[in-house]
Amino acid sequence: MKLQLLSHPKKKANGKIYKYYSIAESYWEDKKNKKKILCYLGSLTPSQAKQIRDILKVAQSLDAFTATFEDLLFENHWRYLDMAFLNHLWDREWKGLSSIFPSPEGTSNTRKKEISTADVAKLLAFYRCLDPGSYLSAVEWFETTACNLILDIDPAHFNESRIYRELTAIEKQKEKIEQWLFQGLKERNEKSMRIIFYDLSDSYFEGRKCSIAKPGRTKANGFQSRRIVLSLLVNSEGYPFSWNILEDYTADVSTLKTNTDSWKQQFNLSKVILVFDRGMVSDENLQKLETEDSYFYITALDKDQIAGVEAVDLSKFRTITNAASEQEILSRGLMEYDESTFYEDLEVDNSGRRHVLVFNSDLFKNQRKAREELIEKAMKELDDEKDSLLNAKKSRNIKPTEQKIDKILDKLKVRSFIDYKLESVNLHGKNGSLIGSFNLLFKRNEKSIEKAMLTDGMWMLITNINKTLEPEEYRLSPKELIRAYRDKNRIEEAFRDLKSFIKFQPTFVYTEDHVRAHYTVCILSYLLDMTVTNRLRQKATENIGSVAKVYRILKHCEVGKLSVKGTDFSGLKLMPLTNEQEIILDLFNCNYLTRRDYLESIGVKAL
């Protein structure tokens, strides 16, 4: 039975409609909802009617009460929607990922763990997606989130010692994770596994020691006493499925042979097209891939190798200038790829390898401009050095002087474009002493500059994919070869994301298992990031164009703890959604995260 305020409109003789009220009791009889009038109240103002309805609501609701605004206490708040969103991606988009990790019951014969390895892997992946930092800080971060409600875990069990123990457990599952991703990606979209991308990057770690780290020069952070080299393999949609930290690294080119054997065995590869950077090109590597049944390849030659390609004729580019029109470029026998890129299929040469010459007019202009700027800068620095030598206060030796000049030229990468020589001169000091120094004579090497200009704007693809290749679906046109090589920026984006957004480095762990597990956690974070990125690419959304923007928008929807002064009442309440948050939930089919039934299942009320 439920009490409610009923209104009874009544039309008077003068035509006006008056509204009378009564309090009624609803009940069921003969499977019908009926109402029994308990008392009539006469006419009421809208304000009086509202007050009576509020009184009836409070009287009949277990969680309703009367209070003033000053009685409400806002005790605490925790991040909810960004965490729930990532948990949705992990559980729904990558359903089954948690099952790879050992269950709590299966990890110990003597006791049951309070938190699973899968949950720790989840939390660490979420942490690196949203607020990457040290694993010590992860515990403090966890306390600012509603992850304990979402994952149904006791916060006391997520601590530093547990994190480090579980990193070891996570690393033990690396090959299973790779195999699961490979199979899953193949089932999702088999075509996306036809072209795969391989690359290397480097990083460093903070810590006392690590057996897999060696001294070496990193690409972005100079020399580091503890450098590590990372390898990564992604499919054509950018999803990762194989990664490693390479021991005994000597050069990029040396890694390919070992890894291709490993991938073939691990994933039972039949036919794939492997795209990799020119830094890994060697005749030995290409021969290795050409003798394998599993691999076709697409890569590029270094710029200084272009002139040595059998069918290339660089002389026809000798007169091209910055002002060259599209028609002028096409008249050299090139075909159009897009408005600034042109190509010539040089077909298969005597080595059985196919070459495609690519010319980009924007790159052409940029390279010519950059070379002239570097030469000009080098000439200025040599002028300064010349003045310094002719005004020397102490005698100079020829070897250190040559080394200093060479260092200037090497730093600006113009050694082949400027010739110099040193002529001995005798200078007189203030007290009449003789100072032995040099006059620096230098000039542009126009012949070398003209030779370099012949390949400005060019890059050369090399592949074993030809027009008679079997199976037929692996035959690629020149345009498809260019597109595939350009798409290697997917793996370059992956490393950028790992380093800048997920922040692989600096690495605040030092045991081998922990360093390797840290890379695995970063890859799982990148998997979630890439899931968001690909959905945004599929369906463009105004003002929401990046992973970072998605996380930033969702971050502001929190769960707060409310209580009422002078009562025992307290509860958790979710903030109302913004329009942008609703758009994101629609896009990823996860509106249920803010629905009453789901929220009540984790102990939260919705507005």
pLDDT by residue (tens digit) across 209-235? 677 777 677 666 677 667 788 899 999
Q: Are residues 466 and 564 in the same domain?
A: no
Please tell me the distance from the alpha carbon of residue 24 to that of residue 130, in angstroms, as a whole number: 54
Domain boundary among 485, 509, 531: 485
Domain assignment present for residue 170? The answer is: no
Query: Are residues 360 and 447 part of one domain?
Result: yes
Are 306 and 455 in the same domain?
yes
In a domain, 174, yes or no: no
308 in the same domain as 449: yes
Q: Does residue 563 sit in the same domain as residue 468? A: no
pLDDT at site 90: 98
Q: Is residue 227 part of a domain?
A: no
Last residue in a domain, options 485, 501, 520: 485
**In-domain check, residue 129:** no
Output the pLDDT for position 453. Answer: 95
Residue 322 has pLDDT above 80, yes or no: yes
Q: Give the closest residue to 557 by CA, choosing from 583, 525, 527, 534.
A: 583
Q: At 541, is the pLDDT very low, low, confident or very high (cuts 50, 70, 90)?
A: confident
373: in domain: yes
How large is the average pLDDT for residues 545-569?
90
* Together in a domain, 387 and 474: yes
- Report pLDDT digits (tens) over 134-157: 888 999 999 999 999 999 999 999
Task: Measure the CA–CA gap between 130 and 135, rounded to whole angstroms.
Answer: 14
User: Do 472 and 327 share a structural domain?
Assistant: yes
Burial level of 574, CB count in 10 A (0-12/13-18/19+)? buried
Does 106 score more than 50 pLDDT?
no
- Residues 479 and 567 reside in one and the same domain: no
| pLDDT above 70 coverage of the chain, percent | 93
Question: For 123-127, 400-404, 571-575, which range has the lowest pLDDT when averaged over its residues?
Answer: 571-575
Q: What pLDDT is stored for residue 498 in this prediction?
A: 72
Does the pLDDT of residue 83 top 90, yes or no? yes
Point out the domain boundary residue: 467, 485, 503.
485
Residue 416 has pLDDT above 50, yes or no: yes
Who wins on pLDDT, 432 or 331? 331
Q: What counts of helices (H) and strands (E) characterise the chain?
A: 19, 18
**φ, ψ (nearest 5 deg) of residue 179:** -65, -40
456-494 pLDDT, tens digit per residue, is: 999 999 999 998 888 888 999 999 999 999 998 878 777
Asked, for residue 517, whether it belongs to a domain, the answer is: no
| Domain identity same for 481 and 556 | no
For residue 18, being part of any structural domain is answered with: yes
Whole-number pLDDT of residue 64 = 64
Answer yes or no: do 328 and 403 share one domain: yes
Confirm whether 452 is domain-assigned: yes
Top-confidence residue, 148 or 28: 148
| Half-sphere exposure at residue 161, Cβ-oriented, CA atoms within 13 angstroms | 2
Q: Report the domain count for the chain.
A: 3
Mean pLDDT for all residues in the chain: 89
Same domain, yes or no, for 582 and 473?
A: no
Domain of 404 in residue numbering reads as: 302-485
For the stretch 351-407, pLDDT in tens is 899 999 999 999 999 999 999 999 999 999 999 999 999 999 999 999 999 999 999
* pLDDT for residue 336: 96
Residue 337 pLDDT > 50, yes or no?
yes
311 and 444 co-located in one domain: yes
